[in-house]
Amino acid sequence: MRVPYLPVVIVQIVVALGACASARDSVGPSEYLDQTTAATISVVAKPLVFAHERPDLAVRARDYVTLAGASVNRGGAIEYYIFAYLWSTLDNRNRGGAPLTADSLTIAADDRRISPQLVGHSSQEAGVGSAIRAPPGHHWTLNVYKTDVATLAFIAEARHLAVITSSPEGPVTYEPWDDQRRALRGLVRRLQGQD
């Protein structure tokens, strides 16, 4: 029995391992036909997650904002949205029973302040039958904002990002917790026809 040439075997192993790693690290957007609304939905592979530390209430307590970009195609009419989920690691009883909410949301991207137009508080108002890239658990508040591809592209390419919400105590700033701008760039490429 003849043993294959060692360098050829090593190259084959390296190529196989590289293919496995790139498949695992894929950030390509997903696209599906919504069974409820019959719209074609293109959505970011992984959402951006921002956090605001709450040491005044508990150790390692945080409030979060999760942002997921998407397009909704209804018979050729395409609209673009940012699905913003507000959620927390805190028990609502620490807030007097009130969930985390904010109708006013601003995305600070480099030197710009982006204040998208609020469409509503459910995915159905954007033509989507169920929540898109919702955070874990069931205790979140959804705000749906209308946007455009140019704004999504600017957010994806920004060097510095933050989310600012309003509260009775004043503005609250959320800093990146899980930075998935690479996934947002993948969605933008698909929406611009480059993918």
Asked whether residue 118 carries a pLDDT value surpassing 90, the answer given is: yes
Higher per-residue pLDDT: 18 or 86: 86
Query: Rounded to whole angstroms, how far apart are CA atoms 128 and 106?
Result: 23
Q: Which of 95, 82, 102, 92 is nearest to 166 (CA)?
A: 102
pLDDT of 5: 55
- Cβ neighbors of 143 (< 8 A, separation 6 or more) are 83, 84, 86, 102, 103, 105, 118, 120, 121
Q: Could you tell me which residue, 23 or 103, shows the higher pLDDT?
A: 103
pLDDT at 90: 75
Can you tell me the mean pLDDT for 87-109? Answer: 71
Residue 26 predicted with pLDDT over 90: no
| Per-residue pLDDT tens over the stretch 34-93 | 999 999 999 999 999 999 988 676 677 889 999 999 999 999 999 999 999 999 887 655
Asked if 129 and 36 count as a contact pair (C-beta separation under 8 A), the reply is yes
Identify the pLDDT of residue 9: 45
Q: What is the pLDDT of residue 23?
A: 42
- CA dihedral (131, 172, 108, 146) positive or negative: positive
- Average pLDDT value for the chain: 84
Task: Give the whole-number percent of the chain exceeding pLDDT 90.
Answer: 58
pLDDT score of 189 more than 50: yes
Q: State the burial class of residue 67 (Cβ atoms within 10 Å of its Cβ: 0-12, 13-18, 19+).
A: buried
Q: Does the pLDDT of residue 159 top 80, yes or no?
A: yes
pLDDT surpasses 50 at 11:
no
Amino acid 100: pLDDT: 59
| Lowest-confidence segment of 56-60, 118-122, 187-191 by average pLDDT | 56-60
Q: How confident is the model at residue 120 (pLDDT cuts 50, 70, 90)?
A: very high
